[in-house]
């Protein structure tokens, strides 16, 4: 049954992808991208990746659609006239697809427990996590401690990309000449629609609470800083859509957003420096407490907080950079 | 049935190339960005497909329960990649917005023509 469901979802994914490429109206294409992400999240869930599904649903279907719409508000919403199918490109693409499909016949079948990918470090992670870190969610353990360097690198990349957007578009009150006071009062996308306004206002506190739950429950269930950051940012974006751009920037000021961006990444790196000062290696949390296992748990809790703060700051700052430019 | 186990990889191949087609054949820059995110989604799908173990469950260990767990490593790689992906897409979008402000168009061939005319 699961396999039929999986095949159905995957086929839909292809249909939606072709729809995105063919749609002449860019608004349609962006909305289809949201559906694409949601289908992708469902697929991830079928494939046992609960954490990834949560991330894709929050980031791909939520934040990314809003950001793309924010960008679309600043550029023309239609493609020029319908173009002919590009013959050469089509030939290249068809040939490459056939080659990749041909290559898959050598791949291990879906779910094969003897596949090479399951023989390397993964069994060690699954076996040693209860002993060394003692938290149930192995994904969080690998993310936070076994591959902590990698995660720090990713946070820095997210921070850098956010910084790039701010330098390109400016953020009122921090980068560029405009101030928060220059923004028009009470201009919002959803302000004139009664139903979204009432429902949204009711939902915002619960979304923010859920974000905190995902943040601090990430060791026990699916969740962690990346997901929590995206959900928290989504809640604040909803606030901005309802209350207005200027009003939202007064709740979390632009300066605060930049501080969150940098502070989260610094907190993560700071834990690494602290462990070095305490006599361990960089990001070796064992030295943070008397008991190495407790040290690991503290380390993961703090760096996940750093990740959450940084992701919230970056995503919100990017949203405001787009939204504030259009008015 | 044996071949159905490869269906995920075929969808990966098709999605990858649908995205790639948009990047190389479309002149509209927003379309190129959307194509890039489809391409990116295909790669995510490839990695997550590899993590699945027959009869397995999400790698959240319950003590005293004898379960098979799927591979956590590809999940960690893709989890962070999704957030990085949206940040870089936003960066591209910001560039497109600035290009529109400078050229008045987001069609690639028109910006090239304007560059040549100068």
- pLDDT by residue (tens digit) across A160-179? 999 999 999 999 888 888 88
Q: Which residues pair with B27 in a beta bridge?
A: none
Query: Is B12 within a domain?
Result: yes
Give the Cα-Cα-Cα angle A163, A61, A83 (nearest 5 degrees).
Answer: 85
Q: Report the domain count for chain B.
A: 1
Contact of A108 with A114, CB cutoff 8 Å = yes
**Cβ neighbours, 10 Å, residue A314:** 32
Whole domain around residue B101: which residue ranges? 3-57+67-117
Collect all residues with Cβ–Cβ distance below 8 Å to A127 and sequence separation of at least 6.
none
Residue A252 region by backbone torsions, left for phi larger than 0, else alpha for psi between -120 and 50, else beta: beta
Q: Mean pLDDT, to the nearest integer, of A285-291?
A: 89
Higher pLDDT, A20 or B62: A20
Give the Cα-Cα-Cα angle B6, B11, B15 (nearest 5 degrees).
Answer: 150
- What per-residue confidence (pLDDT) applies to B10? 94
A311 pLDDT band (50/70/90 cuts)?
Answer: very high
Q: Which two tokens stand for residue A226?
A: 């990346």
Q: Mean pLDDT, to the nearest integer, of B41-70?
A: 89
Contact B52 A44 (CB under 8 A): no
What's CA A270's distance to the chain center, in Å?
A: 23
Lowest mean pLDDT among A239-248, A264-273, B76-85, B94-103: A239-248
- What per-residue confidence (pLDDT) applies to A173? 86
Q: Which two tokens stand for residue A69?
A: 């719409």
What phi, psi does B60 have (nearest 5°)?
Answer: -120, 105
A-facing residues of B in 23-42 (CB < 8 A) are 24-28, 30-31, 34-35, 37-38, 41
Residues present in chain A in total:
327
Q: Which residues pair with A137 in a beta bridge?
A: B60
- What per-residue confidence (pLDDT) applies to A83? 63
Contact B100 A36 (CB under 8 A): no
Q: Mean pLDDT, to the nearest integer, of A122-149?
A: 90
Q: Mean pLDDT, to the nearest integer, of B37-64?
A: 91
Cα–Cα distance list, A34 to A63, A100, A112, A316 (Å): 9, 27, 31, 18
What ranges do the domains of chain A cover? 1-120, 137-327
Contact A48 B63 (CB under 8 A): no
Higher pLDDT, B65 or B39: B39
- What per-residue confidence (pLDDT) applies to A81? 66
User: From CA A230, how far away is CA A223, in angstroms rounded?
Assistant: 11
pLDDT at A103 over 60: yes
- What per-residue confidence (pLDDT) applies to A85? 74
Q: Which two tokens stand for residue A76?
A: 């023309």
Closest-approach residue (CA) in chain B for A148: B76
Name the percent of chain A lying above pLDDT 70. Answer: 98
pTM for the model: 0.92
Query: Is B34 within a domain?
Result: yes
DSSP single-letter state for residue A252: S
- What per-residue confidence (pLDDT) applies to A186? 66
Higher pLDDT, A180 or A33: A33
A80-101 tens-digit pLDDT:
766 677 889 999 999 999 999 9
Q: Mean pLDDT, to the nearest integer, of B35-59?
A: 92
- What per-residue confidence (pLDDT) applies to A327? 54
pLDDT at B1 over 60: no
Q: Name the minimum distance, in Å, from the CA of B40 to any CA of chain A.
A: 11
What's CA A240's distance to the chain center, in Å?
A: 19
pLDDT at A185 over 80: no
> Is B91's Cβ below 8 Å from some Cβ in A?
yes
Contact A105 B6 (CB under 8 A): yes
DSSP single-letter state for residue A285: G
Query: Is B62 within a domain?
Result: no
Residues of chain A positioned with their CB less than 8 A from the CB of B58? 48-51, 222
- What per-residue confidence (pLDDT) applies to A113? 87
A3-27 tens-digit pLDDT:
888 899 999 999 999 999 999 899 9
Identify the residue among B42, B60, B81, B92 best suited for mutation to test binding to A, counting A beta carbons within 10 A and taking the highest: B60
Q: Mean pLDDT, to the nearest integer, of A22-35?
A: 94
Q: What CATH number should be reported for the domain holding residue B28?
A: 1.10.287.3510
Residues of chain B positioned with their CB less than 8 A from the CB of A96? 17, 20
Lowest mean pLDDT among A183-197, B18-32, B97-111: A183-197
> To the nearest whole number, what is the mean pLDDT of chain A?
90
Nearest to A17 among B15, B26, B105 (CB): B15
Query: Is B113 within a domain?
Result: yes
Higher pLDDT, A192 or A133: A133
User: From CA A56, how far away is CA A49, in angstroms rounded?
Assistant: 11
Residue A170 region by backbone torsions, left for phi larger than 0, else alpha for psi between -120 and 50, else beta: left
Q: Which two tokens stand for residue B103?
A: 């050229």
pLDDT at A184 over 80: no
Lowest mean pLDDT among A216-220, A296-300, B112-116: A216-220
């Amino acid at each position: 049954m699961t396999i039929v469901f999986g095949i159905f979802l995957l086929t839909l994914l292809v249909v939606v992808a072709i729809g995105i490429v063919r749609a002449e109206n860019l608004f349609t294409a962006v909305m289809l991208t949201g559906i694409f992400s949601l289908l992708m999240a469902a697929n991830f869930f079928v494939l046992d990746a609960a954490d990834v599904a949560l991330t894709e649903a929050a980031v791909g279907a939520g934040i990314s659609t809003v950001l793309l719409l924010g960008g679309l508000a600043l550029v023309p919403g239609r493609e020029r006239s319908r173009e002919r199918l590009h013959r050469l490109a089509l030939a290249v693409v068809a040939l490459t697809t056939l080659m990749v499909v041909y290559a898959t016949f050598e791949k291990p079948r879906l779910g094969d427990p003897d596949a090479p990918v399951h023989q390397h470090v993964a069994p060690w992670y699954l076996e040693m996590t209860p002993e060394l870190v003692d938290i149930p969610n192995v994904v969080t353990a690998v993310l936070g401690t076994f591959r902590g360097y990698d995660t720090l690198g990713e946070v820095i990349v997210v921070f850098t990309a956010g910084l790039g957007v701010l330098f390109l578009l400016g953020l009122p009150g921090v980068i560029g000449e405009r101030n928060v006071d220059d923004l028009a009062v009470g201009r919002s996308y959803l302000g004139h629609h009664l139903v979204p306004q009432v429902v949204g206002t009711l939902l915002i506190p619960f979304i923010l609470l859920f974000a905190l739950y995902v943040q601090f429950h990430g060791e026990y269930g699916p969740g962690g800083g990346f997901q929590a950051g995206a959900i928290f940012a989504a809640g604040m974006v909803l606030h901005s859509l309802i209350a207005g751009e200027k009003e939202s920037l007064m709740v979390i000021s632009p300066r605060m957003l930049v501080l969150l961006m940098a502070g989260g990444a610094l907190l993560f790196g700071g834990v690494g420096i602290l462990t070095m000062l305490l006599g361990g290696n960089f990001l070796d949390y064992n030295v943070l407490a008397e008991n190495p296992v407790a040290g690991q748990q503290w380390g993961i809790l703090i760096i996940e907080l750093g990740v959450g703060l940084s992701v919230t700051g970056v995503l919100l700052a990017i949203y405001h950079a787009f939204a504030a430019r259009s008015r | 049935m044996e071949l159905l186990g490869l269906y995920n990889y075929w969808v990966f191949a098709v999605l990858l190339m649908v995205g790639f087609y948009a990047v190389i054949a479309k002149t509209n820059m927003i379309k190129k960005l959307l194509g890039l995110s489809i391409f990116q989604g295909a790669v995510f799908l490839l990695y997550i497909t590899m993590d699945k173990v027959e009869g397995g469950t999400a790698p959240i260990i319950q003590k005293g329960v004898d379960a098979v767990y799927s591979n956590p490593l590809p999940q960690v790689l893709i989890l962070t990649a999704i957030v990085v992906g949206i940040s870089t897409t936003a960066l591209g979008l910001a560039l497109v917005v600035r290009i529109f402000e400078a050229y008045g168009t987001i069609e690639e061939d028109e910006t090239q023509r304007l560059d040549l005319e100068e």
